[in-house]
Structure 1
Amino acid sequence: MDIKNYFVNSEIKTKDFGNGIRRKILSYNDNLMIVEVYFDENAEMEVHAHPHEQITYIIEGEFEFNIDGNKRICKPGDSTYKQANIKHGAVCRKKGKLIDIFTPCRQDFLDKQ
């Protein structure tokens, strides 16, 4: 992957995935990726797993996370950590926005751009 040092927000397209979820890949390289994700109220990210480590930081809204069957409400300023291959998902209880950080980079996200 070629190294890119600057990612200008106004030039980045938001991808609509339906079901009230949209995302914008803010920046990335082989080993790291940061993504802004927008959720409509009651939008649900189905329980899933992937080989990437993930940290989520809640900017706006209220989310009910399910990490390995353990559910918890998270609000602005809260964060979560998901180790590789752990089952996780979320339901947005109040319209929200969060930041997801992945290592390594989610090539599957780039392939769907």
Structure 2
Amino acid sequence: MKRKDLEGSPHGELFPGARAAAFGGRQTMLNHVVLDHGVTVPEHSHPEEQITYVLSGRLAFQIEDEVCEVAAGEAVWIPGGATHAVRALEPSVVLDVFSPVRPDLLERFGG
């Protein structure tokens, strides 16, 4: 068994204004992300599928050609390989779930 206090763990800089702490198993991982108001995570893609659950705040996602706002208590699914970006409409905290594991994030933000 592994366990980690994601909220209490040191968070590294993901992008300016975005900090993350990660925790992973064999096939799935979590990324706890804190976003400052107005920060934009630039357009990118990765082969892993992603579900983002908003713990607090409000975000604007662009996933391929779709744009949607997601608020606290809501989640959005991003298929593997889909181009996406996100902007924090207010200070926000999210939990990103990736499958399979993203080794790049685990290496940068903890295990």
Please report the TM-score for the alignment, with normalisation by the length of structure 2: 0.89
* Number of equivalenced pairs: 109
- In structure 2, distance between residues paired with 1:11 and 1:94: 22
The answer to whether 1:99 aligns with 2:100 is no
- Higher relative contact order, structure no. (Cα contacts within 8 Å, ≥ 6 residues apart): 2
Query: Where do 5+ consecutive residues of structure 2 fail to align?
Result: none
Query: Where do 5+ consecutive residues of structure 1 fail to align?
Result: none
63, 66, 72: which is aligned to 2:68?
72
SS of equivalent to 1:98? strand
1:31 and 1:111, CA in 2 relative to 1: closer, same or farther beyond 3 A? Answer: same
Q: Share of identical aligned residues, percent?
A: 22
SS of equivalent to 1:111? helix
1:20-54 deviation line (CA, Å, top 9, x unaligned): 000011x2122100111000000011111101010
1:53-77 deviation line (CA, Å, top 9, x unaligned): 1000011111000011211111101
Please report the TM-score for the alignment, with normalisation by the length of structure 1: 0.88
RMSD: 1.6
- In structure 2, distance between residues paired with 1:9 and 1:71: 29
Aligned to 1:21: 18
**CA offset at residue 19 of structure 1?**
1.6
1:59 and 1:15, CA in 2 relative to 1: closer, same or farther beyond 3 A? Answer: same
Mapping for residues 5-44 of structure 1, pairs under 5 Å: 5-9=2-6, 12-25=9-22, 27-44=23-40
**CA offset at residue 11 of structure 1?**
6.5
1:69-111 deviation line (CA, Å, top 9, x unaligned): 2111111011100111001110001110000000011101123
